[in-house]
Amino acid sequence: MPYLQKTDSEIYNLIKKEEKRLKDTLMMIPSENYASRAVEEAVGSVLGNKYSEGYPFKRYYQGQENADQIESLAIERAKALFGVEHVNVQPYSGSPANFAVYNGVLKQGDTIMGLSLAFGGHLTHGADASVSSKYFRAVNYELNKEGYIDYKALMELAKKHKPQLIVAGTTAYPRLLDWKQFAAIAKVVNAYLMADISHIAGLIAGKAYPSPVEYVDIITTTTHKTLRGPRGALIMVTKKGLKKDPDLATKIDKSIFPGLQGGPHINSIAGIAVALKEDSTKKFQKYVHQIIVNAQALAKSLMDNNIRVISNGTDSHLILADISNYGILGNTAAEGLEYIGVVLNRNSIPWDKNPPFYPSGIRMGTPGITSRGMKEKDMKQLGSIIAKAVQALGLQKKKSGITDSEERKRSFRTKLITSTKELKTLKADILKLTKKFPIPAAY
């Protein structure tokens, strides 16, 4: 990056520091992954200079001959990869994509039903803090005590509240979603059924997770995470959706532009097109199957090392663990693991007794570490390291006499982490893994 280095050394140095951080740590936040060099080159190209307000061959500015082809190519690749009738590739990200659907098919005050944030849903599925619950009436469904969606309870909730749209989607749920049962519930109350597959889109594209296309009307997804593309999103309309509402695609397109957005980011759309081409290969299919194999091996290793895994395993890329029996917060575990080079996040668990900002769990995933080439035997070692770190932090908290209220203060957590001697050894173990499995330069 010679031009950046010369023009802005501060930003250049921060980017270099981020490269080093990525190199020396394991990316285990489930919503993160490594985009290929090809994707990065498309995003960082001259396309970022072009303003392309409108849709292909229906733009408001001149000079669109290349932008039109790029966006059309991204659309056709998404349609082919997922087997859908219509795709909008212009949403800037996942949250705007979800709101664009609501804005397109609902009236203000209509009812949406999504999984509760506290039980693994997303903010945009009707959480109190989200605009989705301010413009629309939000009803949340929950998980049962075993950590699974209770479809019978969901049916009764739908009959009671009669939502106009049901969201089948999660952000911290490790098990398969039963698209057929969701469809049956939506049919009973005549609701649109929207699948938010942001976390599992790559798994679906790679045929490692059941596709919702046959059962739902609308599909939204981000394009990073398991798809390994740039930041962006897709809104897809299925044949079933068009049968329910022949104007559904038009409503959604108008909701994106001119309803909510201006000119699309053609450079990001180009990156999406590149990722979709990569996602259509046998190599990618092999990769996403390995993501799930790794996640299941990691879940087993954690449980073998006395870490409670919600629902006793996973069917996807994601694991949710309850570390409350070691007497520490998810915050402490996440920060302590970051200290040794394992980057994941704190997270609420189903029926959590603690508030969301100080939860009892941690959330982790295997897309990033699978991109680095790690396999099942490495998951066994990694699960042991994570468990040892959590257990050591719990013992050190007791030894130090830090109270639960003190632990909520970052200064006390930092003191606890830096005084836990075992972490230094574990940090060296993680660094060895990062050197053994370097960040991939390309795919």
What positions carry a catalytic annotation?
51, 53, 196, 222, 225, 231
Note the helical H segments in 130-222.
132-135, 151-161, 179-189, 201-205
Q: Is 318 in contact with 364 (CB distance < 8 Å)?
A: yes
Residue 381 CB contacts under 8 Å (≥ 6 apart), including other chains: 301, 429, 433
| Residue from 230, 222, 221, 233 nearest 261 by CA | 233
Tokens, residue 138: 């939000």
Residue 4 CB contacts under 8 Å (≥ 6 apart), including other chains: 11, 12, 15
Question: Tell me, what DSSP letter sits at residue 260?
Answer: I
> 162 in the Ramachandran plot: left (φ > 0), alpha (ψ -120 to 50) or beta?
left
Q: How do strand 137-141 and strand 192-196 relate by DSSP bridges?
A: unpaired
Angle at 422 (CA atoms; ends 348, 346), nearest 5 degrees? 10
